[in-house]
Chains A and B, each alone.
Chain A
């Protein structure tokens, strides 16, 4: 079974540009989570999508947005990039919310903002 896949692996942008990151969940998983892992800060929760809808949002500005498609894949968009947006962006998927959810993570997309 294929795991959670993320693309691109690496992305280099300049300040003010937009970045789009993509995630394909494990087959059968309908929930997708996005986390930001900046150096020394651990994993910070960004967004949670389930069944195509945004269910929860972390403490990030509105220029961080995303969506989930009918096939449950997801996209994270970061507008007006700032230097501090440089981080590893991790996507995770799980079965739909019913009881305890175990999140399975992808390898991440490394975003560098110059």
Chain B
């Protein structure tokens, strides 16, 4: 089955630093999504990518859909304390019965003020 490798598993950074995390897959996806989960909450969508090579920004967040369709990265610039949480990448193949999302295991981000 499809598997996503997300790295790093956790990060400890100082407020104001930039952050980068990525996901790689053993198979291609047609959609890549990045979610953030706060404690006690469900994941919330940050960025959706629909096309290979696409680079999309949402405020201080930037994500790219890899050309091979097997990878994606998420960058956070000038981190702030409220960026703390677990970040998940997710891939979707689409078509037929493949609309489910396959998730990475998450990156736990801690920001020290």
Query: Footprint of B on A, CB under 8 Å?
Result: 4, 31, 33, 35, 40-45, 48, 50, 55-56, 58-59, 90, 92, 94, 97, 99-108
Query: Could you tell me the distance between the alpha carbons of A31 and B101 in the complex, rounded to whole angstroms?
Result: 13
Q: Is B85 positioned at the interface, with any CB of A under 8 Å from its CB?
A: no
Contact A102 B45 (CB under 8 A): yes
Interface core residue of B30, B42, B88, B97 (most chain A CB under 10 Å): B42
Range of interface residues on B (Cβ < 8 Å):
20 to 34
Contact B105 A42 (CB under 8 A): yes
What is the minimal beta-carbon distance from A104 to any residue of chain B, in angstroms? 7
Query: Could you tell me the distance between the alpha carbons of A57 and B106 in the complex, rounded to whole angstroms?
Result: 22
Chain A residues in 8 Å Cβ range of B41: 107-108
What is the minimal beta-carbon distance from B62 to any residue of chain A, in angstroms? 18
